[in-house]
């Protein structure tokens, strides 16, 4: 590894993240003047350098296009799940069949698993509660569990397979 490459790795460990932080800063102050662009860029460089040690290995996003489609599906599902949960809340509680199930993961990237767990928590009637790193499983609680196998299959098909595509 040459000197210049090493210093790039040190000062700019993840360029995309730096850009994201700069953009976030600009949106947050809602002011697109030069001074704030420079301040945002400075923060974008400084924050990753300072917090570098806390981050896991950088996730590799291989294909951005499926990621966009994934976000769109997720947004629609959030909308749907909100309505479903609202209806479940309004109905008498004795109709509820809450239950736990163990979801076997096939993903092995930490970041991808985090996204999957967050997705499960945001979508129809499920909250992820525990990640078992040895067995590589997620413990999921469902507000209304009718068929375990079906719940697992739908999570695999809707979210995990697209995520595998994005991160592999």
Partner 1 sequence: MTSIDMPWTLQLVIVGFLLFGALVALIGSWGLAKLPDIYTRLHGPTKASTLGVGCTLIGSLLYFSHQQGGVSFQEALVTIFLFATAPVSAHMMGKAALRRRLKGVPGTRNMPDR
List of residues contacting partner 1 (CB under 8 A):
24, 27-28, 30, 78-79, 81-83, 85-86, 88-90, 93, 96-102, 117-122, 125, 127-130, 139, 141, 143, 145, 148
**Whole-number minimum distance, CB 167 to partner 1, in Å?**
18
Q: Which is nearer to partner 1, 53 or 93 (CB)?
A: 93
Q: Which is nearer to partner 1, 12 or 14 (CB)?
A: 14
Q: Which is nearer to partner 1, 10 or 32 (CB)?
A: 32
**Whole-number minimum distance, CB 41 to partner 1, in Å?**
18
Which residues make Cβ contacts (< 8 Å) with residue 9, sequence separation at least 6?
Answer: none
**Whole-number minimum distance, CB 12 to partner 1, in Å?**
23
Q: Which is nearer to partner 1, 4 or 30 (CB)?
A: 30
**Whole-number minimum distance, CB 98 to partner 1, in Å?**
5
Find the helix packing angle between 34-51 and 15-29, rounded to 10°: 130
Q: Which is nearer to partner 1, 16 or 93 (CB)?
A: 93
DSSP-assigned letters across all residues of 106-166: ----HHHHHHHHHHHHHSTTEEEEEEETTTTEEEEEESS-S-HHHHHHHHIIIIIHHHHHH
CA distance 51 to 97: 43
Structure tokens at 158: 């809707």
**Whole-number minimum distance, CB 32 to partner 1, in Å?**
10
Name residue 101's beta-bridge partners.
140
Which residues make Cβ contacts (< 8 Å) with residue 10, sequence separation at least 6?
Answer: 49
């Amino acid at each position: 590894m040459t000197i210049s490459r090493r210093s790039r790795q040190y000062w700019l460990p993840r360029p995309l993240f730096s850009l994201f932080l700069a953009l976030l800063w600009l949106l947050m102050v809602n002011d697109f003047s030069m001074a704030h662009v420079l301040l945002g860029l400075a923060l974008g460089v400084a924050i990753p350098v300072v917090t570098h040690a806390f981050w896991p290995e950088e996730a590799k996003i291989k294909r951005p296009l499926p990621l966009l489609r994934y976000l769109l599906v997720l947004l629609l599902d959030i909308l749907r799940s909100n309505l479903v949960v609202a209806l479940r809340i309004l109905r008498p509680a004795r109709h509820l069949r809450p239950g736990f199930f163990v979801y076997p993961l096939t993903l092995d990237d930490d970041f991808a698993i985090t996204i999957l767990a967050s997705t499960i928590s945001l979508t129809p009637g499920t909250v992820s509660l525990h990640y078992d790193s040895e067995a590589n499983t997620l413990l999921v609680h469902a507000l209304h569990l009718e068929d375990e196998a079906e719940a697992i299959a739908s999570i695999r098909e809707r979210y995990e397979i697209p995520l595998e595509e994005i991160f592999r």
